[in-house]
A and B are shown apart, each in its own frame.
Chain A
Amino acid sequence: MAEYSFFSLLKNAWNGNRDWKPAWSKAEPKTDYDVIIVGGGGHGLATAYYLAKEHGITNVAVLEKGWLGSGNIGRNTTIVRSNYLLPESIRFYDFSVKLWEELAHDLNYNVMFSQRGILNLAHSPAQADDYIRRGNAMLHGGGDAEWLTPGEIAKKVPGVDLSKSARFPVVGGLLQPRAGTARHDAVAWGYARGADRRGVDIVENCEVTGFLREGDRVVGVKSTRGEIRAKKIAVAVAGSTGRVMKLAGIDALPIESHVLQAFVTESLKPFVDTVVTFGGGHLYMSQSDKGSLVFGGDLDGYNSYAQRGNLPVVEEVMSEMVALFPGLARVRLLRSWGGVMDMSMDGSPIITTGPLPGMYLNSGWCYGGFKATPASGWTFAWTIAKDAPHAINAPFTLERFHRGALIDEKGQGATPKLH
Chain B
Amino acid sequence: MLITCPYCGPRDLAEFSYQGDANRPRPDQHDTDQARWNAYVYDRSNPAGPHREYWQHAGGCRKHLLIVRSTLTHAIESVAFAGAQGATPRPARRSPKSRTKTGPAKGKKP
A residues 292-327 in Cβ contact with B at 8 Å: 301-306, 310-312, 315
A residues 239-253 in Cβ contact with B at 8 Å: 240-243, 246, 251-253
Question: Per a CB cutoff under 8 Å, which of A243, A254, A310 touches B44?
Answer: A254
A95 within 8 Å of B by Cβ? no
A201 within 8 Å of B by Cβ? no
A402 within 8 Å of B by Cβ? yes
Shortest Cβ distance from residue B54 to the other chain A in the assembled complex, whole angstroms: 10
A414 within 8 Å of B by Cβ? yes
Shortest Cβ distance from residue B52 to the other chain A in the assembled complex, whole angstroms: 10
- Complex contact A304–B44 (CB within 8 A): no
Distance of A257 Cα from B70 Cα, bound (Å): 13
A256 within 8 Å of B by Cβ? yes
Distance of A384 Cα from B105 Cα, bound (Å): 60
Contact count band on B: 20 to 34
Count A-B contacts at CB 8 Å.
Answer: 70
Distance of A416 Cα from B18 Cα, bound (Å): 12
A residues 250-267 in Cβ contact with B at 8 Å: 251-257
Distance of A305 Cα from B75 Cα, bound (Å): 12
- Complex contact B72–A306 (CB within 8 A): yes
Distance of A416 Cα from B21 Cα, bound (Å): 11
Question: Per a CB cutoff under 8 Å, which of B12, B43, B74 touches A253?
Answer: B43
- Complex contact A252–B44 (CB within 8 A): yes
Question: Per a CB cutoff under 8 Å, which of B42, B48, B74 touches A242?
Answer: B48
- B74: chain A residues within 8 A (beta carbon): 304, 306, 310
A345 within 8 Å of B by Cβ? yes
Shortest Cβ distance from residue B86 to the other chain A in the assembled complex, whole angstroms: 19
Contact count band on A: 20 to 34
Contacts A256-B21, A305-B48, A312-B14 known; A402 to B71 CB distance under 8 Å? no
- Complex contact A345–B21 (CB within 8 A): no
A24 within 8 Å of B by Cβ? no
- Complex contact B45–A254 (CB within 8 A): no
Shortest Cβ distance from residue A345 to the other chain B in the assembled complex, whole angstroms: 5
How would residues 8 to 23 of chain B score, 1 for a CB under 8 Å from any chain A CB and 0 otherwise? Answer: 0000111001100100
- Complex contact A303–B46 (CB within 8 A): yes
Distance of A241 Cα from B45 Cα, bound (Å): 11
- A243: chain B residues within 8 A (beta carbon): 48
Distance of A303 Cα from B54 Cα, bound (Å): 11
- Complex contact B48–A414 (CB within 8 A): no
- Complex contact B44–A305 (CB within 8 A): no
B residues 1-39 in Cβ contact with A at 8 Å: 1, 12-14, 17-18, 21, 34-35, 38-39
6 inter-chain pairs at a CB distance below 8 angstroms, sorted by A residue, are A241-B46, A255-B44, A255-B46, A257-B71, A306-B73, A402-B42
A interface residues with partner B (beta carbon < 8 Å):
240-243, 246, 251-257, 301-306, 310-312, 315, 345, 401-402, 414, 416
Q: Told that A345-B44, A402-B34 touch, could you supply 7 new A-B pairs with CB distance under 8 A? A: A252-B39, A252-B43, A252-B46, A303-B46, A311-B13, A345-B42, A401-B43
